[in-house]
Amino acid sequence: MIGGIDDHVAQATPFLDILGKTIVHIGPVGAGHITKSLNNLPLASNMIAAAEALALAVKSGLDPAKVAVAINGSSGRSWVSEYRIPNFVLKGDFSERTGMAVALLIKDVAIACESAKSSDVTLYIGNLFHQMLMRISHEVGAAAPNTNVIRAIEDWAGVKIRPANDA
């Protein structure tokens, strides 16, 4: 996701192709910036929703690994449920390799919320997520990888989202 003058973006594309596999010229300068924040808004919501769903699964006596497989085979799937949950959360890995800092996620959600406000759009859920992320940041630390959003929700629910044989 990039913003800029058409000719400049075209000149930069060979270099951008090295950095990522999906390069989308969104529009003028600044368009990539807002799009990045809009991309991370559903990332935050997916992390929070997946964590709450799987915490409830554990509290209900269900194996979160099996519930995650069911979610991924249905309409609730997301990049978080398909990648982060099985590769990190179910393994109890909340290390630096599992995501950007919570502070960066907060920054992007805040940019989306501020952009919405200046566009006269209300992001009810986005603002709620921003408040939740601020609380989580105080609990896990702003520099913690953002998968720690899920760890905080585990703590709030008093569970660990791990396969039944690892619980």
36 is catalytic: yes
Look at residue 20 and tell me whether its pLDDT is greater than 90.
Answer: no
Banded pLDDT at 166 (limits 50, 70, 90):
low
| Angle at which helices 124-140 and 31-59 cross, to 10° | 70
Under 8 Å between Cβ of 64 and 92 = no
pLDDT digits (tens, 9 = 90+) for 78-103: 999 999 999 999 999 999 999 999 99
Report the mean per-residue pLDDT for the chain: 95
Give the amino acid at 94.
F
What residue ranges do the domains of the chain occupy? 29-166
Is pTM beyond 0.95? Reply is no
Banded pLDDT at 163 (limits 50, 70, 90):
confident
Instruction: Decide which of 3.90.78.10, 1.10.1040.10, 3.30.70.250, 1.10.290.10 is the CATH code for 29-166.
Output: 1.10.1040.10
- What does the pLDDT read at residue 125? 96
Instruction: Of 145, 110, 98, give the one whose Cα is nearest residue 136.
Output: 145
- What does the pLDDT read at residue 137? 97
Query: With the C-alpha atoms ordered 134, 53, 42, 81, is the resulting torsion angle positive or negative?
Result: positive
Tokens of 3: 């913003």
With 0-12 CB in 10 A as exposed, 13-18 as middle and 19+ as buried, what is 114? middle
The three-state secondary structure class of 167 is coil
Residue in 21, 36, 66, 160 annotated catalytic: 36
Percent of the chain with pLDDT over 90: 93
Percent of the chain with pLDDT over 70: 99
